């Protein structure tokens, strides 16, 4: 472009047009540009044969010069980023995640990459996170601004208050110190679901049930701080403990589902983590192992323990129903195909969103396409575990759960399966064997017990 301007008398706009003609190899336009350049060069005192020779060299350069330029630039960037990833992996991944802070799909992929690389991604924390991602003791702390539906600007204001006046001591302290303009009901709900308040209040269900109380107190504190009038009780109102209606915390599966909804994926844990030992006994394979190792021409069948992430029913042109089902375990996620017969037989189980044991068929037809995954059968995972269980160990963290466990066991028949209760008591190691044996005649008995608030774990023997 500089040659065209300096020698051929082109304007900047004309030189850019020449670049497009040569770069896109517009053959019909090149003779016109040759004539224009030659005339301009002759006008600038350059011999005609020299002008034509220069244009020939420019045309030849255009056939590879732009590609070479791009290749050189991208090679340099690739080298620089590879160096950073190799020598500063935590900082590099933190920066990459921050760059796509609003893109849930990319954050899901980057978090998976971190797990593969052995980099721990810590959950969001109102007292430790910033609005952006940050490096913390060789780990990555999840950004408050990356939570879905939460404004990064609002989170910056909350972080600024924390940095100015210290960490929030409890939820009451948080309400007294935050300005109502920096947070709304939706943002507060998302922070609770994401577990951002776990460091100062572990009972997410209690906070969520008291949303109105939280908002009311934040509003009142803001009004008091902004008012020129002095309150009857002075500054005492800004340090008083807020009274909340008490409610049991969400069961672990429900807690993780809410968390995934707020963050976009499972971060602190996966719902199948509590089934780890049971799943190993069932002899199932993990999703990543299946997907990564299938080759062109393979056709395999496998059993997998998964959670249902999505369920989209469709109707084909000939009127037949089919569905795409999004499935995941702690290692990977994928989409599987379900025929109309399967929708009729297993639709209710899939829509219940309970963890499931799925039999699938997979084949890979060519290198460029993803494996085709078909669902053959679906069974609630708790039901599959119950069928092969010889007994249960139930760990209870709240005494209120005891009567609920008793009520469920009353509905079962007598049998040979033993049940042990382990109460979580500080400085004590206790295991109580129930006197009666149980038949586990109900296929969902483990699921019912696991869902009781105050039951921290259920393991089959």
Which of 78-92, 228-242, 265-279 has maximum average pLDDT? 78-92
The per-residue pLDDT for 236 is: 56
Q: In this structure, are 278 and 341 located in the same domain? A: yes
Q: What is the mean pLDDT of residues 25-47?
A: 92
Q: What is the mean pLDDT of residues 273-283?
A: 84
List beta partners, residue 328.
307, 333
- Distance, CA of 380 to CA of 278 (rounded, Å): 13
Q: In this structure, are 279 and 376 located in the same domain? A: yes
Q: What is the mean pLDDT of residues 182-197?
A: 96
Which of 351, 383, 415 terminates a domain? The answer is 383
Q: 286 by DSSP, 3-state: which? A: coil
Please check whether residue 69 lies inside any domain of the structure: no
Q: In this structure, are 369 and 289 located in the same domain? A: yes
Please check whether residue 335 lies inside any domain of the structure: yes
Provide the angle, in degrees to the nearest 10, between the axes of the packed helices 65-87 and 48-62. 40
Please check whether residue 307 lies inside any domain of the structure: yes
The per-residue pLDDT for 90 is: 97
Domain ranges, residue 424: 389-460
Q: Which alpha helices (H) appear in 238-353, and where do they start and end? A: 252-263, 276-282, 287-293, 340-352
Contact between 152 and 101 (Cβ < 8 Å) = yes
For the chain, the farthest-separated pair of C-alpha atoms sits apart, in whole angstroms, at 110
- Distance, CA of 236 to CA of 218 (rounded, Å): 15
Residue 233: pLDDT over 60: no
User: What are the tokens at 159?
Assistant: 């972080």
The per-residue pLDDT for 331 is: 80
The mean-pLDDT minimum among 164-178, 280-294, 347-361 falls in 280-294
Minimal CA–CA distance to 285: which of 270, 272, 302?
A: 302
Please check whether residue 185 lies inside any domain of the structure: yes
Q: What is the mean pLDDT of residues 273-296?
A: 83
Q: What is the pLDDT of residues 377-408, one digit of tens each?
A: 999 998 898 888 889 999 998 888 999 999 99
Domain count, the chain: 4
Q: pTM for this structure?
A: 0.73
Q: What is the pLDDT of residues 191-201, one digit of tens each?
A: 999 999 999 99
Q: Which of 68 and 205 is assigned the larger pLDDT?
A: 205
Which of 342, 366, 383 terminates a domain? The answer is 383
Q: In this structure, are 282 and 200 located in the same domain? A: no
Residue 132: pLDDT over 80: yes
The residue count of the chain comes to 461
The per-residue pLDDT for 234 is: 52
The mean-pLDDT minimum among 221-235, 282-296, 345-359 falls in 221-235
């Amino acid at each position: 472009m500089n040659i065209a301007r300096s020698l051929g008398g082109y304007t900047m706009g004309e030189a850019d047009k020449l670049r497009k003609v040569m770069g896109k190899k517009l053959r019909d336009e090149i003779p016109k540009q040759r004539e224009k350049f030659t005339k301009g060069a002759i006008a600038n005192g350059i011999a005609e044969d020299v002008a034509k020779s220069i244009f020939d060299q420019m045309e030849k350069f255009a056939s590879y010069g732009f590609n070479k330029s791009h290749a050189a630039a991208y090679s340099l960037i690739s080298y620089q980023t590879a160096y950073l990833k190799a020598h500063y992996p935590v900082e590099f991944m933190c920066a990459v995640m921050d760059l796509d802070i609003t893109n849930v799909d990319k954050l899901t992929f980057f978090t998976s990459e971190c797990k593969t690389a052995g980099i721990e991604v810590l959950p969001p924390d109102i007292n430790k996170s910033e609005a952006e991602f940050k490096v913390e003791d060789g780990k990555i702390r999840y950004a408050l601004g990356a939570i879905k539906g939460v404004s990064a600007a609002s989170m910056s204001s909350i972080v600024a208050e924390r940095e100015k006046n210290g960490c929030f001591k409890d939820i009451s302290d948080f309400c007294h110190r935050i300005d109502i303009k920096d947070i709304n009901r939706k943002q507060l709900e998302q922070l609770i679901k994401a577990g951002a308040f776990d460091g100062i209040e572990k009972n997410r269900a209690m906070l969520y049930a008291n949303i109105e109380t939280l908002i009311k107190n934040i509003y009142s504190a803001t009004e008091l701080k902004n008012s020129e009038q002095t309150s009857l009780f002075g500054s005492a109102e800004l340090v008083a403990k807020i009274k909340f209606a008490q409610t049991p915390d969400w069961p672990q599966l429900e807690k993780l589902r809410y968390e995934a909804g707020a963050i976009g994926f499972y971060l602190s844990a996966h719902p199948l983590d509590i089934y780890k030992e049971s799943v190993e006994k069932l002899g199932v394979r993990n999703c990543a192992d299946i997907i990564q190792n299938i080759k062109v021409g393979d056709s395999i069948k496998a059993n997998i323990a998964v959670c249902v992430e999505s369920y989209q029913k469709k109707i084909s042109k000939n009127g037949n129903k089919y569905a795409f089902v999004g499935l995941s375990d702690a290692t990977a996620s994928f989409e599987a195909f379900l025929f109309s017969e399967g929708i009729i037989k297993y639709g209710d189980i899939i829509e219940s969103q309970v963890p499931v044991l799925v039999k699938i068929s997979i084949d890979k037809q060519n290198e460029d396409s993803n494996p085709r995954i078909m669902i053959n059968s679906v069974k609630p995972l708790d039901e599959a575990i119950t069928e092969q269980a010889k007994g249960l160990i139930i760990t209870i963290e709240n005494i209120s759960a005891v009567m609920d466990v008793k009520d469920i066991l009353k509905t079962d028949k007598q049998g040979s399966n033993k049940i042990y209760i382990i109460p979580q008591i500080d400085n004590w190691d206790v295991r109580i064997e129930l006197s009666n044996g149980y038949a586990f005649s109900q296929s969902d008995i483990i699921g019912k017990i696991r869902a009781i608030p105050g039951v921290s774990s259920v393991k089959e023997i």
